[in-house]
Structure 1
Amino acid sequence: MLGQITNIKQHKIIFVTFSTIIACLFLVLIISGIIGIVNKIEFGDEGAYRDTISIQGQGKIYAKPDIAYVNLSVITQGYSLKGTQDSNSKKMNGVIEFLKGFEIEEKDIKTINYNIYPQYAYEDRKAPRIVGYEINQTIELKIRNLDKVSEILEKSVAAGINQINSLRFWIDKDEELKAEARKIAIEDAKKKAQVLASDLGVELGDLIGYNDDNSYYPTPIYRAEMGGIGGGGETPDIQTGENEIIINVSLIYEID
């Protein structure tokens, strides 16, 4: 009996000793973690924070456009839907054949709108009734020869077009111009960074960040007026003007 009591006491002592060791180790880990956090707060991680400046630059390029886009519409009204559709299609097909005479390819003619509008008559105390139809078909035309723009606008009316809008001028392949504007923007940002660093009394370090965005501004011509187009009027005087390509960049430098 005495031997059993002695064994139980020994087991208790061993268990208490093992538990104490585990608790001490756990306490050491907690204290080490707290010390590490305090050190990070007090001294900071190396490289976690860097002094930097950010500067913006802009590059602009002006160039004459080399293509034009314009929307041409045929609007037809009639009493029957089929008759109105047939009439509208005949007019538009004639317009497309006319445009091909200016060496405009099919890939540069795109239908962008086709609408049928029932026309209603309204009488007192009666439900509205359909008395006819209006069909509006619009094509977007890409004109690669700008010397032909005025003539196309004038003669397309005689060919069947009765609405012209959204005339705008564009640069077909502008990647080289964008690259040139980007170089100007980067040089502008570099010069500004040197001036700012001098004003702040610091030295520029490594370039660690770059970003750019590009903006493209077509010539602000949005509508060709119908006056003077067709019906024996004078050929409209269309000015292409210049397009403006703008590139904005942002550079980030470390500073010492």
Structure 2
Amino acid sequence: MKHFLAYPLAGLAVTGLACTSLPAMAQAMTTVSPNAIQPETTLTISAEAEVTASPDVAYLTGGVVSEASTAQEALRQNSVDMAGVYKALEGAGLAKKNIQTSDFSLQPVYNYPENEPAVLTGYRVSNQVMVKVEDLDNVGSIIDTMVELGGNTFNGVSFDIQDSSELQNEARRKAMQEAVARAELYAEASGYQVARIVTISETGGYRPQPVGRMVMAEASMAKSAPTQISGGELTVSAGVSVVFELTQ
């Protein structure tokens, strides 16, 4: 009997404790300041900035495409003409590390008569190199010499800035300054003040590499009208997204 009576008493004690704690909890909830649960007023600003600069390096891609009735002959002709291309690059003072084969292929060439099976007519060999040129004034003359000594294909010229880290940082600073200025403008217009920065995230940046203007002169006019290359300017950009806390 003693054991059976002990359980109801314990249950009553717990129930009584729970009941007495409810008024205290209710009182504590009613004394919480509304400002403590009011979310902060924030403003999110995304800003971008750009910095322009002249390129200091050019990359040109070109080489030789040869066709012959047999694969061996096409390869032989291509090798002879490519030797001239490499001679031109060596004569321009380019280091071997700045010359890289970008494409090499040997493919059959077919003729497709109407309503007839394809006919093998020969073979085509393509050997292309990508060349890094740090003296931009010599890009045009290098192309001319490559053509003169055997090159017959060019796939364009692109430009770059070898070390753009400081330009990128300058763009970041300008983007951040723009974000802060716009935040202060919005805050003033709405009767607030900028209290602090909550978060900052970089939204990316880019450095395009425009293709240079390349004017190929006729072979008979190469000496009097050399190839003209214009590097122009490159744009380095940066973007930021900033969350500001506003206060009155």
Task: State the TM-score, normalizing by the size of structure 2.
Answer: 0.81
2:158 is the counterpart of 1:174: no
2:130 to 136, 140, 156: 140
Cα distance change of structure 1 residues 43 and 166 upon mapping to structure 2, 3 Å threshold: farther
1:102 to 72, 92, 100: 92
Higher gyration radius (CA): 1
Give the root-mean-square deviation of aligned CA atoms: 3.3
Separation in 1 of the partners of 2:166 and 2:33?
50
Q: What aligned pairs does 1:56-135 form with structure 2 within 5 A after superposition?
A: 56-122=46-112, 127-135=117-125
- 1:149 CA displacement: 1.0
CA contact (8 A) 1:153 1:229 kept: no
Separation in 2 of the partners of 1:23 and 1:166?
86
- 1:78 CA displacement: 0.9
Structure 1 residue runs without a partner (length 5+)? 1-8
Cα distance change of structure 1 residues 56 and 126 upon mapping to structure 2, 3 Å threshold: closer
Letter in 2 for 1:216: R
Aligned to 1:3: none
Letter in 2 for 1:180: E
Aligned residue pairs: how many?
Answer: 239
CA contact (8 A) 1:164 1:225 kept: no
Aligned to 1:198: 188
Describe the superposition over 1:230-253 as per-residue Cα deviations: whole angstroms up to 9, x where unpaired: 343320222221112222222221
- 1:47 CA displacement: 7.7
Separation in 2 of the partners of 1:134 and 1:223?
28
Aligned identity (percent) is 23
Structure 2 residue runs without a partner (length 5+)? none
Describe the superposition over 1:150-175 as per-residue Cα deviations: whole angstroms up to 9, x where unpaired: 11122211111111122122111111
Aligned to 2:244: 253
1:217 to 190, 204, 208: 208
Greater shift in the superposed pair: 171-180 or 82-91: 82-91
Separation in 1 of the partners of 2:212 and 2:14?
81
- 1:141 CA displacement: 1.1
Cα distance change of structure 1 residues 214 and 123 upon mapping to structure 2, 3 Å threshold: closer
Letter in 2 for 1:50: E
* SS of 2:221 mapped into structure 1: coil
* SS of 1:216 mapped into structure 2: coil
Greater shift in the superposed pair: 125-134 or 139-148: 125-134
Aligned to 1:5: none
- 1:221 CA displacement: 3.0
- 1:115 CA displacement: 1.9
Aligned to 2:139: 149
Cα distance change of structure 1 residues 17 and 79 upon mapping to structure 2, 3 Å threshold: farther
2:221 is the counterpart of 1:232: yes
Separation in 1 of the partners of 2:215 and 2:86?
21
CA contact (8 A) 1:66 1:169 kept: yes
